[in-house]
Structure 1
């Protein structure tokens, strides 16, 4: 169990980066008085400048100096706080030592990773020890994968309350507007590089159950395509138009499946889950969906081949870059999840919010995830270990996000 007598309640690691500054600003404006927050990174001057821009409420926030490849400094950081929230990615490069330090110190941890191989390595290295230490290591607490994970969580809750059976075929349809994340692109680069090193890693990354606690116990549901074009009529009668592959679907689906397995397959043993993206419902939607599929496929191939990667690296956003204030403000996301239960009933859930998904909205999602651990630790699920947002934070995070203006709902159709 985390130590409530520590100097700090929460440390933001990577506070000088683009998302780190947004997170610090969000917490400076919304965290209740008395929450002891620190700002951490490797540059004292940049940390001081970040703190100065947060207003008088953050004037006394301590600054903690720690480099991502300095285990001693990270161990000291982890020992000073109850919770650490890190925005420093790609996590396969910069996150491993901090997870190790958090587990050893008994410190709860949240991050923004969307990297399958990093999370798999974290599970293998730390799940048992974190569980024994009573520590919650909660990966993917931003746009990837809180809306997906909590959307299925509340969908299951509603079906359970109605006594309508278990979830079977379930599809998330994402609608969104916002900027392209340089951090997400860099994570994709890292994932490609890691997969190229080892054929076994490529197979692991491609498995729909790559994050399962025990893949041998997963149900055999046949081929599950996490990157596909889908006719809306296959999803639910009221869904119109063809849907494109969703860029983060291949990651989010694995988090949701891990949530199901960690809870002894409570969503159902025949729960099949996929994610797609809306491109409108016009007669040309199939053409648009095919175009998106081609672009995504071309991006992966382009980043895998040195000559095209050289060009793409000079075109795509760099790590630490982000959209304008206007783009952040005008962005939005809406995740609509449709399911059919074992009794034949149809249900849907929705998770939606204003603000650029990868930046402004993500700061809210990560901030409230961290505050759930700081302020509501005694109300959270009992589970410890390397967890998911739904299994670590569950209904408490749903409640906090609703209070922060995020729509989270479920209904029978």
Structure 2
């Protein structure tokens, strides 16, 4: 059965989870005539979710699928063009679904922030997905759409202007309000657990090209620290007076951006140096906050990667937010993020990309981003790249997402700074 002949455009796998339900709500509200099915382990719970989605979703089919049953995943994948999944931690539950989609030639989108899960997905299923025509797209939420698409937008702007390739490129989270989802925390726990038990895994995570397709092809650009702290004016004159610290998700996001560059045959440039920061403001206390936050970030990473195995699993899981839980609708609506990404091209041209979105980044905003990725994969196939295999959002659907963002409430604008 070809993709065009399949029964569904999108299956939402994990629709009974917190972000899964939000994603289903978004598709019911914004998906138009897209053919959607809801999937998960419990048909009864899925039916209850469907009842809350409004009239447009009341005929959506219910599919029973479970990571512990590969045959159920294979059946689900064979019936749809796209599977979007919120079932994590992905290193624990995700690979069987990647395997099913790669085998069926079915496109796939997830919310993972787990670098080693993506690495295993590449190692085990990239070639098969290329052969079957599947697009396996990781990192389709707050990790790492703002990062990945901001750099892609800068590349497209510089390409249009004829101003050369990207050089030093720095993402700065300027404003943020919202919580970290239970699923994100669970994913971080899995990363720490894997690195604490295996020195080789820890070394791979420390490599700036963890997710590269061909490590020997990557440029050697010297140290590219994950959690640096800098004065804003060292990043761009426009940030004079601002202090920054390393952004907590930089260890993952930077590797997604670098993989995008490699997948696109280094279209961004072979001298691309990419880092991520978070603004801590311009007050008298900002330099101290910057230094302390940087030390704390690096300390957490060091302790997590080396000594996590000393902490009882039950204690960690009891303290951490539970996957499937989240804030109230009012709190989700109040959330937002805004980030600026600065670059200097090989001809000296300077640009800034600003991305902003209303809604709690870990919940409401993420569900919109994931929903739009699913819609782009299902409906905008003439705008997608020709690449197949284990991909990133920018490499798989960069132009399609740029076109979709305005109607979805995602603002992404590029400006030239040296005109």
Sort the TM-score into its range (normalised by shorter chain). Answer: over 0.9
Determine if the alignment matches structure 1 residue 55 to structure 2 residue 54: yes
Determine if the alignment matches structure 1 residue 122 to structure 2 residue 125: no
Q: In the TM superposition, what whole-angstrom CA distance separates every residue of 1:164-184 from its partner, at most 9, and x where no partner exists? A: 111111100013110121111
Contact in 2 for aligned 1:179/1:327 (Cα 8 Å): no
Task: Report the TM-score, using the length of structure 2 for normalisation.
Answer: 0.95
> Cα offset for 1:313?
3.7
Contact in 1 for aligned 2:383/2:399 (Cα 8 Å): no
Task: Report the TM-score, using the length of structure 1 for normalisation.
Answer: 0.96
Q: Which SS does the other structure have where 1:205 is aligned?
A: helix
For residues 326 and 280 of structure 1, the distance between their equivalents in structure 2, rounded to whole angstroms, comes to 26
Determine if the alignment matches structure 1 residue 259 to structure 2 residue 260: yes
For residues 310 and 46 of structure 1, the distance between their equivalents in structure 2, rounded to whole angstroms, comes to 26
Number of aligned pairs?
412
Contact in 1 for aligned 2:167/2:271 (Cα 8 Å): yes
Q: Which SS does the other structure have where 1:230 is aligned?
A: coil
Q: Which SS does the other structure have where 1:379 is aligned?
A: coil
Q: Which SS does the other structure have where 1:238 is aligned?
A: helix
> Cα offset for 1:246?
0.7
Q: Which SS does the other structure have where 2:164 is aligned?
A: coil
> Cα offset for 1:407?
0.4
Q: Which residue of 2 aligns with 1:105?
A: 104
Q: Which SS does the other structure have where 2:238 is aligned?
A: coil
For residues 318 and 201 of structure 2, the distance between their equivalents in structure 1, rounded to whole angstroms, comes to 28
> Cα offset for 1:225?
0.5
Q: Which SS does the other structure have where 1:378 is aligned?
A: coil
For residues 242 and 308 of structure 1, the distance between their equivalents in structure 2, rounded to whole angstroms, comes to 37
RMSD (CA atoms): 1.6
Contact in 1 for aligned 2:172/2:278 (Cα 8 Å): yes
Q: Which residue of 1 aligns with 2:349?
A: 345
Q: Which residue of 2 aligns with 1:361?
A: 365
Q: Which SS does the other structure have where 2:237 is aligned?
A: coil
Q: Which SS does the other structure have where 1:377 is aligned?
A: coil
Q: Which residue of 1 aligns with 2:297?
A: 296
Determine if the alignment matches structure 1 residue 334 to structure 2 residue 335: no
Q: Which residue of 2 aligns with 1:392?
A: 396
Contact in 1 for aligned 2:227/2:297 (Cα 8 Å): no
Q: 1:311 to 1:245 in 2, by over 3 A?
A: farther
> Cα offset for 1:36?
1.1
Contact in 1 for aligned 2:166/2:343 (Cα 8 Å): yes
Greater shift, 174-183 or 133-142, is seen at 174-183
Q: 1:328 to 1:256 in 2, by over 3 A?
A: same
Determine if the alignment matches structure 1 residue 324 to structure 2 residue 338: no
Contact in 1 for aligned 2:197/2:309 (Cα 8 Å): no
> Cα offset for 1:295?
4.0
Greater shift, 218-227 or 286-295, is seen at 286-295
Q: Which SS does the other structure have where 1:279 is aligned?
A: strand
For residues 91 and 62 of structure 1, the distance between their equivalents in structure 2, rounded to whole angstroms, comes to 25
Q: Which SS does the other structure have where 1:102 is aligned?
A: helix
Q: Which residue of 2 aligns with 1:287?
A: 288
For residues 129 and 305 of structure 1, the distance between their equivalents in structure 2, rounded to whole angstroms, comes to 34
Determine if the alignment matches structure 1 residue 36 to structure 2 residue 40: no
For residues 384 and 309 of structure 1, the distance between their equivalents in structure 2, rounded to whole angstroms, comes to 38
For residues 222 and 311 of structure 2, the distance between their equivalents in structure 1, rounded to whole angstroms, comes to 37
Give the unaligned 5+ runs of structure 2: none
Q: In the TM superposition, what whole-angstrom CA distance separates every residue of 1:230-255 from its partner, at most 9, and x where no partner exists? A: 21111001113211111111100000
For residues 266 and 9 of structure 1, the distance between their equivalents in structure 2, rounded to whole angstroms, comes to 31
Contact in 2 for aligned 1:2/1:135 (Cα 8 Å): no
Q: Which SS does the other structure have where 2:37 is aligned?
A: strand
Contact in 2 for aligned 1:87/1:112 (Cα 8 Å): yes
Contact in 1 for aligned 2:196/2:309 (Cα 8 Å): no
Q: Which residue of 2 aligns with 1:248?
A: 249
Determine if the alignment matches structure 1 residue 408 to structure 2 residue 412: yes
> Cα offset for 1:316?
2.8
For residues 194 and 70 of structure 1, the distance between their equivalents in structure 2, rounded to whole angstroms, comes to 24
> Cα offset for 1:280?
1.4
Contact in 2 for aligned 1:241/1:283 (Cα 8 Å): no
Q: In the TM superposition, what whole-angstrom CA distance separates every residue of 1:156-203 from its partner, at most 9, and x where no partner exists? A: 111111121111111000131101211111111111111223211111
Q: In the TM superposition, what whole-angstrom CA distance separates every residue of 1:79-125 from its partner, at most 9, and x where no partner exists? A: 11110000001100010000000011111000000110000110111
For residues 13 and 212 of structure 2, the distance between their equivalents in structure 1, rounded to whole angstroms, comes to 28
Contact in 2 for aligned 1:244/1:277 (Cα 8 Å): yes
Q: Which SS does the other structure have where 2:414 is aligned?
A: strand
Q: Which residue of 2 aligns with 1:88?
A: 87
> Cα offset for 1:285?
1.3
